[in-house]
Amino acid sequence: MTQAKIVDSHCHLDFPDFDTERDAVIARALDAGVERMVTICTRLRQEPQVRAIAERYAPVYYAAGTHPMSAAAEPLATVDELIALAEHPKFVGIGESGLDYHYTAESKDIQQQSLRIHIAAARQTRLPLIIHARAADDDIAQILSEEYANGAFTCVLHCFSSGAALARKALDLGFYLSMSGIATFPKSQDIRDIFANAPIDRILVETDSPYLAPPPHRGKRNEPAFTAHTAKIGADIFGQSFADFAAQTTANFDRLFWKAHA
């Protein structure tokens, strides 16, 4: 039987955790049925290194932006800078951007400014905005709503672990929710319930590796091959076979990340 193909829509292959065996990590992903990966640049000064990984490995695409936890420490991105990066054929998304008030609430003003810049770039390039949201649900919902009213754009709330109200707002705007290893943790029933109430055509899967490894690898370094473990839980949530859930989330990915051709 042909192995079901899935996509890791968000990982960090440039992180030093993978420096000694990046070839092997990508080979294991392919062996596990992960046919494509999007590696995310979180500081624009590191974009050349992330781009080089996407250029070296055919199954790897990339996105770039300024992570909200770095917004105060990094130069503020410009819309033109992000648009210029988007000309690369393997550049498929804007971000990750967003808001994080859990660790970096003191920089919330610059985070919000940075987020609006990334939204403008997503709107102009038609590439999906990749959102990191932590302890900032109300402000995320408000900014996304305000900016969408100024002009449509597409978006995914990556590694979704926020509340039901933010999920509903995102879905009402036509956005996507991405399921990470968090959804597989025993204490994450509330997150699984949010996904269960979402339209299945708006769901992606990811690892956010090297973080958040799902069981049976929890507590160890995560890697794209482990996307399958999260996808199996996703299939259970939606009452589907693994093959059907893999096909659905891959179709969702293709719709949103339209530049990441299979």
- State the pairing for strand pair 176-179/6-11: unpaired
Containing structural domain, residue 135: 6-256
Other beta carbons within 10 angstroms of residue 262's beta carbon come to 10
Could you tell me if 229 and 214 are in contact, meaning their C-beta atoms sit under 8 angstroms apart? yes
pLDDT at 2 over 60: no
Could you tell me if 88 and 119 are in contact, meaning their C-beta atoms sit under 8 angstroms apart? no
pLDDT at 196 over 50: yes
% of residues, the chain, pLDDT over 70: 99
pLDDT of residue 250: 98
pLDDT of residue 242: 97
pLDDT of residue 13: 98
- Alpha-carbon distance of 21 to 169, in angstroms, equals 40
pLDDT of residue 3: 81
* Residue 81 within a domain: yes
Give me the residues paired with residue 93 across strands: 63
In the numeric block, which tokens belong to residue 9?
A: 């829509």
Q: What is the residue-averaged pLDDT of the chain?
A: 97
* Residue 38 within a domain: yes
Average pLDDT value for residue range 207-231: 96
* Residue 46 within a domain: yes
59 pLDDT tier (thresholds 50, 70, 90): very high
Each residue's pLDDT tens digit, 116-148: 999 999 999 999 999 999 999 999 999 999 999
pLDDT of residue 1: 42
Those residues whose C-beta lies under 8 Å from the C-beta of residue 244, and which sit 6 or more positions away, are 235
Buried-exposed string 49-77: b where 16+ CB fall within 10 A, e elsewhere: ebbebbeebebbbbbbbbbbbbbbebeeb
Task: State which H helix or E strand residue 7 sits in.
Answer: strand 6-11
CATH of the domain at 59: 3.20.20.140
Total-model pTM: 0.97
The number of folded domains in the chain is 1
